[in-house]
């Protein structure tokens, strides 16, 4: 699913609340190979809950990321979060050619989109034959306000990249699932899998059934709350709090008094997200939880969620079956892996 699409030779560019993540994959035989990668920090408040507040600062971070990664590819794929996208499944005659379907959707889109069409970026994707209407196909329609796309495009251009694909984050997670399906029983076939991505400021849940996305939800919650509690408790700057959170050096009371309560809060949030899905789906189970995002670096969080919720839980490892260029720091790449799922889904767009 893409709001703007032209493939071939792309870097995946994931813009988060705290960093810019750049990843480039090429096919080596039948498997992807990591050829460029870096994570570049963003200034505080440059991005707020995935809204780009300072496009110039984000663009300069992209420029640094491009230089550090060494990539020569100038085309990129970016994604907008689900909260910025309206989706609707509609039915269209199966015998329409793509250009005919596109023309008809443009004529009828104002029935489904609550904005003037000149204010949105619009795309569609044929899902397959309609289950309840012979001769028709189900078509997924997606639209986002043009400003959401334009901000990301402008930042990329400042950084020296041209945006060729604008995707939707849950669908990049669906694509990236192909890289972690070995971690799931039967590779996700006939399974209901919850991909729970806990980032710096946002948590998103993507539910895949039989490897297909069926449900998404996104809410503010993330590791920034832990960083801010470290700031408050120990009188540190935001940058210093983030650094010691990653590398250590905090007093002995940090784990029982600060980290343990945050781990409990993560479990509560995970359970809450699942309950929202159960209410919407009329089912009360998932077969597997896959944790992604920067907060997976908190020691023992996967085991704790599995113990408290009672569902098998693993930490996403998208690079496990990839080859890696010799100039890329393998340990750092593996450590960043769970937080690179969206970048992976985007980078796969150009891995051909």
CATH at 35? 3.30.420.40
In a shared domain, residues 67 and 56: yes
Q: What is the pLDDT of residue 133?
A: 86
In a shared domain, residues 19 and 54: yes
In a shared domain, residues 40 and 119: no
Q: What is the pLDDT of residue 7?
A: 53
- The region that residue 235 occupies, defined by phi over 0 for left and psi between -120 and 50 for alpha, beta otherwise, is left
- The mean pLDDT value for 179-189 works out to 95
Residue 233: φ, ψ to 5°: -70, -35
Q: Find, among 7, 216, 212, 6, the residue nearest to 127 by Cα.
A: 212
In a shared domain, residues 6 and 78: yes
pLDDT surpasses 90 at 318: yes
Q: What is the pLDDT of residue 329?
A: 93
pLDDT surpasses 60 at 6: no
Q: What is the pLDDT of residue 118?
A: 85
Does 248 fall in a domain? no
Q: What is the pLDDT of residue 70?
A: 94
Does 198 fall in a domain? no
In a shared domain, residues 93 and 48: no
Q: What is the pLDDT of residue 247?
A: 86
**pLDDT more than 70, % of the chain:** 97
Sheet of 75-80: strands edge to edge?
Answer: 2-4, 162-168, 75-80, 11-15, 19-28, 31-41, 323-324
Final residue in a domain of this structure, among 96, 120, 145: 145
- The mean pLDDT value for 285-306 works out to 95
Does 303 fall in a domain? no
Final residue in a domain of this structure, among 145, 168, 197: 145
In a shared domain, residues 137 and 18: no
| Beta carbons of 89 and 138 less than 8 angstroms apart | yes
Does 327 fall in a domain? yes
pLDDT surpasses 90 at 186: yes
- Cα→Cα distances 35→20, 216, 281, Å: 17, 31, 40
Q: Are strands 202-209 and 212-220 parallel, antiparallel or unpaired?
A: antiparallel
In a shared domain, residues 16 and 67: yes
Q: What is the pLDDT of residue 351?
A: 77
pLDDT surpasses 70 at 277: yes
Residue 97's domain is classified under what CATH number?
Answer: 3.30.1490.300
The pLDDT tens digits of the residues spanning 99-116 come to 899 899 888 888 888 888
Supply the range of the domain harboring residue 173. 2-82+149-179+319-350
Q: Find, among 182, 185, 184, 217, the residue nearest to 202 by Cα.
A: 217
In a shared domain, residues 25 and 140: no
Does 188 fall in a domain? no
**Separation of alpha carbons 143 and 3, rounded Å:** 7
Final residue in a domain of this structure, among 100, 130, 145: 145
In a shared domain, residues 70 and 167: yes
Q: What is the pLDDT of residue 154?
A: 97
The full DSSP string for 201-270 is SEEEEEEEETTEEEEEEEEE-STHHHHHHHHHHHT--HHHHHHHHHH----TTHIIIIIHHHHHHHHHHH
Evaluated on CA atoms 99, 101, 107, 110, the torsion sign reads negative
In a shared domain, residues 8 and 68: yes
pLDDT surpasses 90 at 339: yes
Residue with tokens 């699932």: 177
Does 275 fall in a domain? no
Q: What is the pLDDT of residue 107?
A: 85
pLDDT band at 2 (very low <50, low <70, confident <90, very high): low
> How many other C-beta atoms lie within 10 A of the C-beta of residue 336?
21
pLDDT surpasses 70 at 292: yes
Residue with tokens 């971070």: 61
Say how many domains are in the chain. 2
Does 61 fall in a domain? yes
- Cα→Cα distances 227→179, 240, 242, 244, Å: 30, 9, 6, 9
Measured CA angle at 207 (ends 313, 264), to 5 deg:
45
Does 244 fall in a domain? no
In a shared domain, residues 156 and 57: yes
In a shared domain, residues 153 and 105: no
């Amino acid at each position: 699913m893409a709001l703007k699409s032209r493939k071939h030779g792309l870097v995946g560019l994931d813009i988060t609340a705290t960093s810019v993540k750049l990843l480039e994959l090429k096919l080596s035989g039948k498997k992807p190979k990591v050829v460029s990668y870096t994570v570049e920090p963003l200034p505080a408040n440059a991005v707020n809950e995935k809204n780009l507040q300072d496009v110039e600062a984000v663009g300069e971070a992209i420029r640094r990321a491009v230089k550090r990664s060494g990539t020569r590819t100038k085309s990129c794929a970016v994604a907008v979060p689900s909260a910025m996208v309206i989706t609707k499944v509609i039915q269209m005659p199966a015998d329409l050619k793509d250009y005919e379907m596109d023309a008809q959707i443009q004529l009828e889109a104002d029935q489904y989109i609550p904005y003037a069409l000149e204010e949105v970026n619009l795309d569609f994707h044929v899902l397959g034959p309609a289950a309840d209407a012979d001769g028709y196909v189900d078509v997924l329609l997606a639209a986002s306000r043009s400003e959401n796309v334009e901000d990301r495009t402008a930042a990329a251009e400042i950084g020296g990249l041209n945006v060729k694909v604008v995707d939707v984050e849950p669908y990049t997670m669906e694509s990236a699932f192909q890289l972690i399906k070995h971690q799931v029983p039967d590779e996700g076939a006939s399974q209901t899998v919850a991909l729970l991505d806990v980032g710096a400021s946002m948590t998103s849940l993507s539910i895949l059934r039989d490897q297909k996305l069926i449900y998404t939800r996104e809410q503010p919650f993330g590791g920034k709350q832990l960083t801010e509690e470290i700031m408050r408790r120990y009188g540190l700057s935001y940058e210093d709090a983030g650094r010691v959170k990653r590398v250590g050096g905090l007093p002995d009371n940090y784990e029982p008094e600060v980290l343990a309560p945050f781990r409990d809060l993560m479990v509560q949030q995970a359970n809450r997200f699942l309950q929202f899905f159960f209410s919407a789906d009329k089912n009360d189970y998932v077969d597997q939880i896959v944790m992604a995002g920067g907060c997976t670096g908190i020691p023992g969080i996967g085991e704790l969620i599995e113990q408290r919720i009672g569902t098998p839980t693993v930490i996403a490892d998208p690079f496990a079956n990839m080859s890696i260029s010799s100039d890329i720091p393998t340990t750092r790449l593996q450590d960043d892996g769970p937080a690179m799922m969206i970048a992976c889904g985007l980078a796969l767009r150009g891995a051909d």
